[in-house]
Structure 1
Amino acid sequence: MIVISCPGQGSQTPGFLSPWIEDEANRTLLGELGEAAGVDLVLHGTVSDADTIRDTAVAQPLIVAAGILAWNALVDSPERAALVGGVAGHSVGEITAAYTAGIFDARTAGAFVGLRSRLMAEDAAKIVTSMSAVVGGVEADVLAALEENDLSPANFNGGGQIVAAGTPENLERLRENAPRGTRVIPLQVAGAFHTAYMADARDALAARRAEFTTADPVRTIWSNHAGEPVERGDEFVDLMVQQVARPVRWDACMASFADAGITGLIELTPAGTLVGLAKRGLKGTPAVAVKTPDDLDVAAQLLAGH
């Protein structure tokens, strides 16, 4: 079974959408997604610098749009789409996954990520916070160190990685006194996402939840809530709303992939992070990162072989 994975915030780089919109139809779609999200995605996906696209209100719509373009190019026929066994997204990548599963159409995905990103950016501006990856060590020791430093676990990424979130001062104290056997790596994000710092954003998004029309998924989709498959589109979107202020359980998602019999993983654009996690958490599973259109042939071969 092939699983499609959709990356989260922090995976974007300057100009990464340029090769995708050499195709005029993709350029038009990117413009439409930007209009729905309230962001100039053509500008930010091609010429904006790293600092500009680090802004949460820009980064999240860019990432979702990139995944939509890559998915459309990869499964360009019903026969190829039928080869996909299931999908999952990491954090904002869940919106991309909702599109690939048929829960959202493209414009709804664009509007939802535009609202989500603005609300999370507003929360992030209230107090300076950030995130760091804690790699290695014993999970119980890592969680204890986070609690001692008034930090929260934001992502359980599997493969021995937990992402800590909180104030820069507390993150630096964790880095200086890292638990035995760990490395603490600062991440280029603008807030303590998936923690209580995002409670206002979650509540505001919940208040507008009814604006977004959903359909039930046409293929298996796993949720970051606890790695479980979700059968109803409305339930999946409700879980996405709550996930704004809850830890991402990507470790549980990968465990579910394994239980379901995964035989290959394809990560949509901007790819690399989830393939890296799969190498540690799903050892031996073939994985392809679709970073540019040049990678589509290799991904299609993986699909065709399964």
Structure 2
Amino acid sequence: MGKLAFIFPGQGAQYVGMGKDFYEKFPVCRQTIEKAAEISKLDLEKICFEENEKISITEYTQIAMTAVEAAILKALEEQDFYPDITAGLSLGEYGAVLASGTMSLEDIFYTVRKRGIYMQEAVPKGGAMAAVLGMEAAEIEKICEEVQGVVSVANYNCPGQIVITGEEEAVEKASEKLKTVGAKRVLPLQVSGPFHCGLLKGAGEKLSQVLEEIPLKEIKIPYVSNVTAQMVTEKQQVKNLLVEQVSSPVRWQQCVETMIENGADTFVEIGPGRTLSGFMRKINRNVTVMNIQTVEDFLKVTEKLRERRESNVGE
């Protein structure tokens, strides 16, 4: 039997009410979200569970999403479910770092809170992102290079979906040009900054100072880096990759391909939405994909994982 992979979604998947049933049902989830609230000095119950504007503002979204993903992960660990390999898209990489065992829960929350603030401050105004559908990566990269101003690829999500990022005017120009040369659609994204481009380098530099103070343990479970799409097995690699990740493209399709090449055949998406499950169907239809965003999902998935474990023991 192949390996089990846990994958964690990034910013944009958040919604009001995410994680509420876990918070109410499992003490470990309540404790995890309360710990994130304590460290961030934010009312995360209000941000996650009640109608509010903060949930879509980067500096609040990032810690809220990470708190919910960490809470679900802790519920899985409490029932003795651990992945063989893990990865997360953009912000979701912090869920993977937590699952890897190299950074403590408290340090993850502290780092993510700072990351959200720094990314918000780096480009408080201007900047845009757009999803380009139905076009090859090389063609998109070429158009971005031809357009004046800052515009580049932010995310290699899956075949047929790539996200561009940069200065608002440059992204608009690139979007128009991409439509004329064959993109099926180019959709502006509702984001609060042009993530994963050179405009965010300052945020990465500030994050580097935070990470310098964070102690790391040896990696127990390898994770795949967004920056390199390679497995991270040595703790010495972690900090530089997390700094680079702020302003580098997210190579998500390549991350998934790396996990499959290394034996992963069952993927569990942990956190709000089903974005990664959707990407997975376009990357490789031959793997099993499950999703946990509600307690109902959790109960179904853990039952399947138990069956998988028992059949594995019997082999």
Please state how far the C-alpha of 1:47 moved relative to its aligned partner.
Answer: 0.7
Distance in structure 2 (CA, Å) of the matches to 1:28 and 1:42: 12
Please state how far the C-alpha of 1:131 moved relative to its aligned partner.
Answer: 1.1
1:109 matched to which residue of 2?
108
Distance in structure 2 (CA, Å) of the matches to 1:59 and 1:207: 22
2:13 is aligned with 1:15: no
- Residues 271 and 86 of structure 1, relative CA distance in 2, 3 Å threshold: farther
Please state how far the C-alpha of 1:199 moved relative to its aligned partner.
Answer: 0.9
Corresponding residue pairs, total: 301
SS of the residue aligned with 2:78? coil
| Amino acid across the alignment from 1:45 | C
- Residues 37 and 58 of structure 1, relative CA distance in 2, 3 Å threshold: same
Say if 1:37 and 1:113, in contact at 8 Å, map to a contact too.
no
2:154 is aligned with 1:154: yes
Please state how far the C-alpha of 1:187 moved relative to its aligned partner.
Answer: 1.7
Q: Which runs of 5+ in 1 are unaligned?
A: none
Say if 2:157 and 2:163, in contact at 8 Å, map to a contact too.
yes
SS of the residue aligned with 1:193? coil
Distance in structure 1 (CA, Å) of the matches to 2:85 and 2:26: 29
Say if 2:123 and 2:200, in contact at 8 Å, map to a contact too.
yes
Say if 1:37 and 1:112, in contact at 8 Å, map to a contact too.
no
Say if 2:13 and 2:272, in contact at 8 Å, map to a contact too.
yes
2:47 matched to which residue of 1?
44
2:27 is aligned with 1:28: no
Please state how far the C-alpha of 1:205 moved relative to its aligned partner.
Answer: 1.1
1:140 matched to which residue of 2?
138
Say if 1:30 and 1:41, in contact at 8 Å, map to a contact too.
yes
Please state how far the C-alpha of 1:171 moved relative to its aligned partner.
Answer: 2.9
SS of the residue aligned with 1:134? strand
Distance in structure 1 (CA, Å) of the matches to 2:79 and 2:253: 31
Say if 1:154 and 1:195, in contact at 8 Å, map to a contact too.
yes
2:272 to 241, 258, 270: 270
1:77 matched to which residue of 2?
79
Distance in structure 2 (CA, Å) of the matches to 1:99 and 1:262: 19
Further displaced range: 95-104 or 177-186: 177-186
1:170 matched to which residue of 2?
170
Further displaced range: 182-191 or 18-27: 18-27
- Residues 271 and 100 of structure 1, relative CA distance in 2, 3 Å threshold: farther
What TM-score does the superposition give when structure 1 sets the normalisation length? 0.93
Structure 1 runs (4+) deviating above 4 angstroms are none
Please state how far the C-alpha of 1:225 moved relative to its aligned partner.
Answer: 1.4
1:209 to 208, 211, 215: 211
Further displaced range: 272-281 or 152-161: 152-161
Say if 1:215 and 1:234, in contact at 8 Å, map to a contact too.
no
Further displaced range: 280-289 or 139-148: 139-148
Distance in structure 2 (CA, Å) of the matches to 1:207 and 1:286: 40
Distance in structure 2 (CA, Å) of the matches to 1:29 and 1:3: 22
2:313 matched to which residue of 1?
none
SS of the residue aligned with 1:203? helix
| Amino acid across the alignment from 1:34 | A
Task: Determine what percentage of the aligned residue pairs are the same residue.
Answer: 27
| Amino acid across the alignment from 1:28 | Q
Distance in structure 1 (CA, Å) of the matches to 2:283 and 2:160: 8
Distance in structure 1 (CA, Å) of the matches to 2:191 and 2:66: 16
| Amino acid across the alignment from 1:134 | V
Q: Which runs of 5+ in 2 are unaligned?
A: 310-315
- Residues 48 and 235 of structure 1, relative CA distance in 2, 3 Å threshold: farther
Please state how far the C-alpha of 1:167 moved relative to its aligned partner.
Answer: 2.8
Please state how far the C-alpha of 1:24 moved relative to its aligned partner.
Answer: 6.3
Deviation per CA, 1:57-108: give whole Å up to 9, x if none.
0111111111111111123233x32xx2211011111111111111112111
Please state how far the C-alpha of 1:220 moved relative to its aligned partner.
Answer: 1.9
1:96 matched to which residue of 2?
95
What TM-score does the superposition give when structure 2 sets the normalisation length? 0.90
Say if 2:13 and 2:273, in contact at 8 Å, map to a contact too.
yes
Distance in structure 2 (CA, Å) of the matches to 1:74 and 1:271: 18
| Amino acid across the alignment from 1:62 | A
Distance in structure 2 (CA, Å) of the matches to 1:136 and 1:243: 25
